[in-house]
Amino acid sequence: MSEKVYNAFSFESTQPVNSVEWRSPSNIALIKYWGKNGNQIPMNASLSMTLKYSFTQTEVRWEPKRDSLPISFDFYLSKQKVGEAFEIRIAKLIEVMLVDFPKISDYHLTINSLNTFPHSAGIASSASGMSALALSLLSMAAQIYNRSYAYDEFLQLASHYARLGSGSACRSVYGPYAIWGQHAEQQSVDEFANPFDVHADFKKMYNSILVFNHEPKSTGSSEGHSLMGSHFYRHGRIEQAADNLNKMIHALKSGDFDVWQQVVENEALSLHGLMFSSAKPVILLNPESLAFLSEFMQFRKGKGLKAAFTIDAGPNIHLLYAKDDREAMQNFISDWITSRKAPINVIDDESGLGAKQLF
């Protein structure tokens, strides 16, 4: 086991410790994962753009355990202890990894995380959080087992564990785009994500997130996924997602912004349509986000902008746009903010290259 002097910028310490640290970004799905089977197997294949500045940084330190509990850890988010809900999800991922790396349970773990973006800001913190944790735990396992992995193999394994923590987290390992889930015409698989290469015009894209509501969602994604199990439109959705994925792949590979725009927006509205029409209706959009969408579509009319909206499981709107239209989009957003009575938080991000090891 290697000992090193730890000196990350986020958690100051000069004590020799056993530690690893990874940074992993969030991602925004262009083709949405909605519904799952069994152990985090997606009902349909999905494809996402990885963000750059919205990330989670997670350090795992380990020391010989002094108690006999199978799992022993302390978790801090921004140096603070947070609720049990986080600890349950972390314990679940550690448990999964113990099956393959039982020696992890010889150690007490101290897990320090920080997010660069506010909680419930319309950015998937479970995607960045679970991928950063899976990467760090796998790095730790590699050290305590003295195992070396080829970099690609390591990322693939981490993506597999991240998926078991939170489905969409498996895509955050890679950037600027990742594909996940079995599909007749693609080589992608259900167990982990794969990087997805795109036309040069799509490699750098921008994402402004308009945060219409900071409150935690009334319905979490786990409940939403489970509602797809017996959804009236389940089979239709599986077909639609496969068809949209084919169109999206063609658009991203050929640089076709018209098809990209049509499919991204169709996926966002279909996701919410499925929520509206599930046995237990889920209404996450609010009147303001809908009003904003129609204003945006009005503004865009006839301009030929390479810009689209997408929406995750929440009321916040992600505007995606190409470099050429950055100025027009930023002006539109700032004019809209000025005309609005109440203040609103806008987070500016862009496509990024995926996870990175810091220590």
Chain positions contacting ligand PMV, by CB under 6 A: 29, 32-34, 46, 124, 126, 166-168, 221, 225, 271, 312-313
Nearer to ligand PMV, 221 or 316 (CB): 221
Residue among 94 and 178 whose Cβ is closer to ligand PMV: 178
Q: Nearest distance from residue 84's CB to ligand PMV, in Å?
A: 19
- For residues 284 and 305, which CB has a smaller minimum distance to ligand PMV in the complex? 284
Residues 6+ apart with CB under 8 A from 152: none
Helix H or strand E encompassing 291: helix 287-300
User: Which of 274, 263, 261, 265 is CA-nearest to residue 310?
Assistant: 265
Nearest to ligand PMV of 18, 172 (CB atom): 172
Nearer to ligand PMV (CB atom), residue 241 or residue 251: 241
For 255, phi then psi, to 5°, come to 80, 30
Least Å from the CB of residue 30 to ligand PMV: 9
Look up residue 286 and give its amino acid: N
- Read off the DSSP letter of residue 216: P
Q: Smallest distance from the beta carbon of 62 to ligand PMV, in angstroms? A: 27
3-class SS of residue 354 = strand
CB of 226 to ligand PMV, least distance (A): 10
**DSSP per-residue letters across 334-346:** HHHHHHSSS--EE
Contacts of 84 (CB under 8 A, 6+ apart): none
Closest separation in Å from C-beta 254 to ligand PMV? 23
What is the C-alpha separation between 254 and 233, in angstroms, rounded?
31
